[in-house]
Amino acid sequence: MYDYLVVGSGLFGAVFTNEAAKRGKKCLVIEKRGHIGGNVFTEPIEGINVHRYGAHIFHTDNLAIWNYINRFATFNHYINYPLASYNGDIYNLPFNMNTFYKLWGTVTPSDAVAAIEKQRLNIEDPQNLEEQALKLVGRDIYEKLIRGYTEKHWGRDCKDLPPFIIKRLPVRFTYNNNYFSDRYQGIPIGGYTAIIKKMLEGSDVQLETDYFKRNWDGIAKKTVFTGMIDEYFGYRYGRLEYRTLRFETEILDMPNFQGNAVVNYTSRDVPWTRIIEHKHFEFGEQPNTVISKEYPGEFGTNEEPAEPCYPINDEKNGKIAQKYLDLAGQEPNVIFGGRLGEFKYYDMWQIIRNALDAAKMEF
């Protein structure tokens, strides 16, 4: 018998497994896909570590988490400077003085503030994402840099999305293109898969193994479940909604395609949300380059193989999710974790923190 059956080899499952193994616990990790790492899986192509499930840029203000993840890899000094492409024009993200200069020709912070104030709508209690955006930044930024990208990302009209999604929309009145304000950020040299591999050393791992395709009774004292919480409970209260991502990855016979790791396409008529050029994450100088076009979709509606990538945390899903979370609280021998297991949109550092907290409660 194992001490823990860990369902899923993503960050939550791998961190918990590592903590358990350090304490002499025996773990069996099962993974539905043919590789470890879940959605942080990176694969070498043309000597470039390709982020197979989208750009994963590690960032945190938590020194303990930063020190923890650095036990498993050396991180470079990559800083996220994404760009936005709208109808052939390029804008800096997040919204800062460079963005405002491109939009309106404003040079000073006071001029930029005045330009935004002139466009902002005085909406006391925004009822949807569109109203929230118009209250925060006005019409120009909303139409060019928010609306199309957001509707593609979530698959819903901005008027049908809750306002809290952009409640803390970053607006900076400095010439600072650093997307994250966190003190610690970077990309692991060699990719994320190497981190997961180190975390799982000493534990048994079975790939291409679907938890729901067999009976696991008696194999472990406890289960750590990082899959979809509604699937675990047999969709008792209905299906929760998740978004998925599809990637078209190409090897290009050129050293540099777009000059930046991430370029968002914010026009609604461009089908992809962004293009990722993976070599720039690790400052690669390979003769070829690899790009991935990212297409969001509704999980469960596409016949092609797809993975749930992030939950749709609107009011309707929130009510259903709470019912499942209440059921989870009644399972003393099951630990639920991760974006899918808790139905919450987490950053990587938060998942690591949660897994470490779960381990502390266990040990």
Let me know the angle formed at the C-alpha of 156 by 151 and 161, rounded to the nearest 5 degrees: 95
Digit-coded pLDDT (tens) for 156-174: 999 999 898 887 678 999 9
212: containing domain: 2-79+183-234+312-362
Question: How far is residue 306 CA from its own chain's centroid?
Answer: 15
Structure token pair of residue 276: 């990722």
Q: 153-157, 197-201, 216-220, 317-321: lowest mean pLDDT where?
A: 153-157
Confidence of residue 85 (pLDDT cuts 50, 70, 90): very high
Which pLDDT does position 303 carry in this prediction?
59
- Statement to judge: residues 100 and 145 lie in one domain: yes
Q: 197 and 326: one domain?
A: yes
Q: Which residues pair with 262 in a beta bridge?
A: 276
Among 134, 166, 198, the domain boundary falls at: 166
- Residues 115-127: tens digit of each pLDDT: 999 999 999 999 9
In this prediction, residue 302 has a pLDDT band, given cuts at 50, 70 and 90, of low
User: Which tokens belong to 138?
Assistant: 């006005």
Question: Would 35 be classed as within a structural domain?
Answer: yes
Looking at the structure, tell me whether residues 118 and 210 fall in a common domain: no
Whether residues 49 and 152 fall in one domain = no
* Strands in the chain per DSSP E: 2-7, 27-30, 42-45, 48-51, 58-60, 83-86, 89-92, 184-186, 204-206, 220-225, 242-252, 262-265, 274-277, 289-298, 308-311, 334-336
* 116 within a domain of the structure (yes/no): yes
Tens-digit pLDDT profile for residues 208-255: 999 999 999 999 999 999 999 999 999 999 999 999 999 999 999 999
Tell me the average pLDDT across 35-52. 97
Handedness of CA 18, 195, 80, 77 (dihedral sign): positive
Structural domain tally of the chain? Answer: 2
Mean pLDDT of 137-148: 96
| Non-local CB neighbours of 130 within 8 Å, separated by 6+ positions | 142, 147, 158, 159, 161
In a shared domain, residues 75 and 96: no
Shared domain for 321 and 207, answered yes or no, is yes
pLDDT of residue 314: 83
Residues 205 and 326 in one domain: yes
For residue 243, tell me if it sits in a domain: no
Active-site residue list: 168, 172, 243, 274, 294, 345, 347
The CATH number linked to 199 is 3.40.50.720
| Domain-embedded: residue 69 | yes
What is the structure's pLDDT at 165?
Answer: 86
Q: Judge if 157 and 8 occupy the same domain.
A: no
pLDDT in tens, 258-279: 999 999 999 999 999 999 999 9
133 and 18 part of one domain: no
Q: What is the pTM of this model?
A: 0.94
Residue 263 placed within a domain: no
> What is the pLDDT averaged over residues 24-43?
98
- Statement to judge: residues 71 and 43 lie in one domain: yes
**Do you know the residue count of the chain?**
363
pLDDT, position 167: 77
Residue 312 exposed, middle or buried by CB count within 10 Å (0-12, 13-18, 19+): buried
Q: pLDDT tier at 113 (50, 70, 90 boundaries)?
A: very high
Q: What is the pLDDT of residue 315?
A: 85
Question: At which of 166, 195, 213 does a domain end?
Answer: 166
Task: Using pLDDT thresholds of 50, 70 and 90, give the confidence band for residue 300.
Answer: confident
Same domain, 31 and 134: no
218 part of a folded domain: yes
Q: What is the pLDDT of residue 297?
A: 92
119 in any annotated domain: yes
Residues 6+ apart with CB under 8 A from 267: 85, 86, 87, 148
Q: Does any domain span residue 10? A: yes
User: What's the pLDDT at 313?
Assistant: 84
CB atoms within 10 A of CB 205: 19
